[in-house]
């Protein structure tokens, strides 16, 4: 495993839970990041799904240097460049077609390429990637899929994301081939719409407790 990939493995394992956030304003980005941090989660994936995402990433890296931020929904080389320029600590992709895998392999930043099938993970493995996102985890088999991958792809580690909630988080996190679990369950749309950041903080805090319970 390259030193760069090892760096991704270290902080993802340490984080245990990777909240996936989508922000619409800089104020919302600050409020979400602060609530997660107060709840005990200091690593997050900020998706590039909204026009303000890159500005929010740069702002958070400037104003909240203690937060480790991955840029998510990386779809192409332009997204990679913009995220690195904004100060991203790592990159996450929902899927990884060959041209994107090439661009990730050249990027000097920890990367967590996404995939959903053994063939795709094998293609990533051939390029040297060992730490990958399983997306959309529940839709493609969830725990059963992770257990299935553990045999043939025993040297790979996964960050399952998609369909994980407070009720199944511990079970996913307990799998030996799981580095961290990703999800948006602590960022319920209804709570965000009414600015109920106390619930975000409480749910983040319970997620942090799940990590302590499972990992010690």
Q: How far is the CB of 31 from ligand ELE (least distance, A)?
A: 19
Q: Which stretch binds ligand ELE (CB under 6 A): 6-14, 35-43, 101-109, 157-165?
A: 157-165
123, exposed or middle or buried, with CB in 10 Å at 0-12, 13-18, 19+?
middle
Of 134, 139, 109, residue with least CA distance to 124: 134
Strand order in the sheet with 131-134: 114-115, 131-134, 157-160
Q: Applying CB under 6 A, what is the total number of residues that bind ligand ELE?
A: 15
Q: How far is CA 6 from the centre of its chain?
A: 15
Any catalytic annotation for residue 133? yes
Site map 75..94 versus ligand ELE, x via CB under 6 A: -------------------x
Helices 98-106 and 118-126, axial angle in degrees (round to 10): 40
Separation of alpha carbons 39 and 186, rounded Å: 10
Is residue 182 close enough to count as binding ligand ELE by CB under 6 A? yes
Any catalytic annotation for residue 106? no
What stretch of H or E contains 154? none
- Would you say 20 or 60 has its CB closer to ligand ELE? 20
Site map 95..134 versus ligand ELE, x via CB under 6 A: ----------------------------------------
Is residue 47 close enough to count as binding ligand ELE by CB under 6 A? yes
Binding site for ligand ELE (CB under 6 A): 20, 47, 49, 72-73, 94, 135, 161-164, 182-185
The residues annotated as belonging to the active site are: 45, 133
């Amino acid at each position: 495993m390259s030193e760069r990939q090892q760096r991704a493995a270290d902080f993802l394992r340490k984080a245990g839970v990777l909240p996936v956030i989508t922000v619409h304003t800089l104020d919302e980005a600050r409020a979400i990041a602060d609530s997660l941090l107060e709840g005990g989660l200091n690593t997050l994936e900020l998706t590039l799904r909204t026009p303000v995402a890159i500005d929010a990433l740069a702002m958070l890296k400037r104003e909240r240097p203690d937060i480790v931020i991955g840029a998510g929904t990386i779809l192409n080389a332009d997204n990679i460049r913009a995220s690195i320029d904004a100060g991203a600590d790592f990159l996450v992709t929902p899927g990884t077609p060959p041209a994107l895998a090439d661009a990730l392999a050249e990027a000097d930043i920890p990367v967590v390429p996404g995939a959903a099938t053994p063939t795709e993970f094998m293609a990533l493995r051939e390029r040297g990637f060992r730490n990958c996102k399983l997306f959309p985890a529940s839709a493609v088999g969830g725990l059963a899929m992770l257990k299935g991958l553990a045999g043939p792809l025993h040297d790979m580690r996964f960050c399952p994301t998609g369909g994980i909630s407070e009720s199944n988080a511990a079970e996913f996190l307990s799998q030996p081939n799981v580095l961290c679990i990703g999800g948006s369950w602590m960022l319920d749309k209804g709570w965000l719409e009414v600015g109920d950041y106390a619930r975000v903080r409480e749910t983040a805090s319970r997620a942090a407790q799940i990590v302590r319970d499972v990992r010690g």
